Structure 1
Amino acid sequence: MDFQRLADDLGLNLEEFKELLELFVDTSTADLDKALSAVDAKDAETVARAIHSIKGASGNLGFMEIYEAARKLEADARANRWEEILMPIHRLKDQIRDISAMLHP
């Protein structure tokens, strides 16, 4: 993942972009934890809201793969397609963890 290119696309220097990434990782991790708890409670609205937050932030930062996964996951939550939700949440968690690992090699 080319953080410098993504930073340039946003008109930021690399350090500013990394600060945004730290916030993205922390917030997304918390949102995914909320979503997982909401799945257990079959609370589709809370799942959708948590994933919507990740969708917006990932799109703004240029993480289009995460954005697309979150877009589909949000739609599945709103449609109460519970069998389609759990594994994608765990995949998103892995992707967020990968970004964190790249920030802190």
Structure 2
Amino acid sequence: MNLDIKALADDIGLDEADYRELVELFMQTGMADYNQLKAALDEGDAGQVARSAHTISGASGNLGLMQVHEVAKRVEQAANENQMADLPADVATLRGFFDDIARIVAV
């Protein structure tokens, strides 16, 4: 995942420092949501998968993290349709995005 923090901050009208703070907060809450999503997937709880994915999708979309937003939205939709079989790959992709963001923000 390639993130241009300055461009993303500009897109939503924030300076880079304020945007970084929001992304750091997203990482804290987003990882909690991700962990909830992963546990729900492991338990086969489609409703909780959808709720957690919805939260991740909304927060990432608000920050302009569109790759995260789109995958989380896809997970949410699949869970709402009880199509859980293909979700492990998308959930792994989300984890990779979180890892990438953490590395970029830590720089």
Which of the five TM-score ranges fits, normalised by the shorter chain? over 0.9
What is the percentage of aligned positions where both structures have the same residue? 38
Q: Measure the CA separation in 2 of the matches of 1:104 and 1:64.
A: 20
Alignment of 1:1-105 (within 5 A): 1-105=3-107
Q: TM-score, normalised by structure 1?
A: 0.95
What is the letter of the counterpart of residue 101 of structure 1? R
- What is the CA RMSD across the aligned residues, in angstroms? 0.9
- Give deviations 1:46-78, integer Å, cap 9, x for gaps: 110100001001111111111111111101111
Alpha-carbon offset, residue 35 of structure 1? 0.8
Runs of 4 or more above 6 Å deviation: none
Alpha-carbon offset, residue 42 of structure 1? 1.1
Q: Measure the CA separation in 1 of the matches of 2:19 and 2:92.
A: 25
Q: Measure the CA separation in 1 of the matches of 2:94 and 2:38.
A: 11
What is the letter of the counterpart of residue 43 of structure 2? A
Q: TM-score, normalised by structure 2?
A: 0.93
